[in-house]
């Protein structure tokens, strides 16, 4: 904020201050983008028309604003996009347990990141005149985070639809602050560094990628274990393995993660070792009250007790079938 008697800050100077403040608040990277229409409008509309959003009807309701991000917060002209590393090492396989995706092995990230995002938003408003807009979004609302992050120069969208930071890989949360503060924008990340690699596409056990950068949610383990309500198609469930909340497979095989992912040293997102793998029998029988008390402040609350009981039963069925096959294979001819 310019002090009395000093020349006002330029958009470039304000942008540098905002990005520096983001780093001091614990974010890994920060970039700034305008709110022009996203270039992927035809692809999004085709994806919705083909039913690939599954039961996520909010994607249909939000489509117009996702395509035209300037309509999300009237008056906003810029997106300050930040990333935060959440990578943690995987726990050794333990019989009778189910795996939880890395991003959900601690406090609910929406809650965990709220204070630092709110502080960054306040700082942005302090750089402008009274009434300056600055509203944070963390995986909420119709914000096209990955498209804005690419436009802000933070990485490219990989074939598995994840944003890939060339220095850190894809194990990062994305958050956006929409503002009307005049900030210099960054150059977009134009390069596609996936090249001919298709490890992520081929590794998916449910074949959820009909094409590069096209994810059919209806076959995705993350969608089916978190967003989907009711029973799961047995033909798909047999491919879940021991995943009971989310899935990291397409990220685990990505060469950019294999080479660059580093364990996050972040007290805000400190993982709970007890959340990496959960006892399947206990989870399959847990009551609603017990579930709320134990997991109510984590991302596991999204599918709720009934969803997690279902996921545990599917994993138990998988482990039982695996054990049966192993026993048969070990019998002498």
Q: Residues 84-109, buried b or exposed e (16+ Cβ, 10 A)? A: bbbbbeebeeeeebbbbbbbbbbbbb
What pLDDT is stored for residue 326 in this prediction?
44
**Mean pLDDT, residues 14-38 taken together:** 98
Q: What is the mean pLDDT of residues 265-283?
A: 95
Give the tens place of pLDDT for each residue, 107-125. Answer: 999 999 999 999 999 999 9
208-225 residue pLDDT tens: 999 999 999 999 999 999
Mean of the pLDDT values across residues 154-183?
98
Active site residues: 139
Q: Is pLDDT above 50 for 294? A: yes
Q: What is the mean pLDDT of residues 285-300?
A: 97
Residue 100 in this model has a pLDDT that exceeds 70:
yes
Boundaries of every domain in the chain: 11-91+106-179, 199-261+272-325
Q: How far is residue 304 from each of residues 101, 206, 297, measured CA to CA in Å?
A: 16, 23, 11
Q: What pLDDT is stored for residue 325 in this prediction?
A: 44
CA 215 to chain centre: 14
pLDDT of 93: 85
pLDDT of residue 332: 58
pLDDT interval class at 280 (50, 70, 90): very high
| Per-residue pLDDT, 121 | 98
5 pLDDT more than 80: no
| Average pLDDT of the segment spanning 47-51 | 98
Where residue 327 falls among pLDDT bands split at 50, 70, 90? very low
Q: Is the pLDDT of residue 3 over 50?
A: no
- Given pLDDT bands bounded at 50, 70 and 90, which one contains residue 2? very low
168 Cβ contact partners less than 8 Å away, ≥ 6 residues apart: 28, 29, 83, 85, 260, 261, 262
How confident is the prediction for the chain on average, in pLDDT?
94
| Averaged pLDDT, 316-325 | 69
């Amino acid at each position: 904020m310019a002090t009395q008697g000093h020349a006002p800050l330029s958009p470039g100077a304000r942008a540098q201050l905002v990005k520096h403040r983001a780093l001091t608040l614990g974010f890994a990277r920060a970039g700034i983008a305008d709110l022009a229409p996203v270039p992927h409008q035809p692809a999004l509309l085709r994806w919705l028309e083909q039913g690939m959003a599954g039961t996520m009807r909010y994607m249909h309701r939000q489509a117009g604003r996702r395509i035209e991000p300037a309509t999300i917060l009237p008056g906003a002209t810029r997106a300050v996009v930040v990333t935060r590393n959440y990578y943690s090492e995987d726990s050794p396989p333990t019989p009778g347990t189910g795996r939880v995706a890395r991003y959900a092995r601690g406090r609910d990230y929406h809650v965990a990141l709220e204070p630092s995002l709110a502080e960054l938003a306040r700082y942005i408003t302090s750089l402008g005149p009274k009434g300056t807009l600055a509203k944070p979004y963390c995986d909420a609302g119709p914000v096209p985070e990955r498209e804005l992050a690419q436009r802000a120069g933070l990485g490219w969208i990989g074939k598995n639809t994840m944003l890939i930071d060339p220095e850190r890989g894809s194990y990062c949360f994305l958050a956006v602050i929409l503002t009307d503060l005049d900030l210099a924008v960054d150059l977009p990340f134009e390069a596609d560094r996936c090249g001919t690699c298709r490890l992520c596409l081929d590794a998916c056990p449910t074949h959820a990628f009909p094409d590069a950068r096209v994810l059919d949610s209806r076959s995705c383990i993350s969608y089916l274990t978190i967003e989907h309500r009711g029973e799961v198609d047995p033909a798909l469930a047999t491919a879940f393995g021991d995943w009971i909340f989310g899935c990291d497979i397409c990220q685990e095989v990505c060469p950019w993660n294999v080479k660059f992912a580093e364990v996050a040293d972040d007290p805000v997102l400190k993982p709970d070792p007890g959340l990496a793998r959960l006892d399947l029998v206990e989870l399959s029988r847990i009551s609603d009250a017990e579930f709320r008390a134990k997991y109510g402040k984590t991302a596991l609350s999204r599918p709720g007790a009934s969803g997690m009981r279902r996921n545990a039963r599917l994993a138990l069925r998988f482990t039982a079938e695996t054990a049966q096959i192993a026993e048969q294979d070990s019998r002498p001819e």
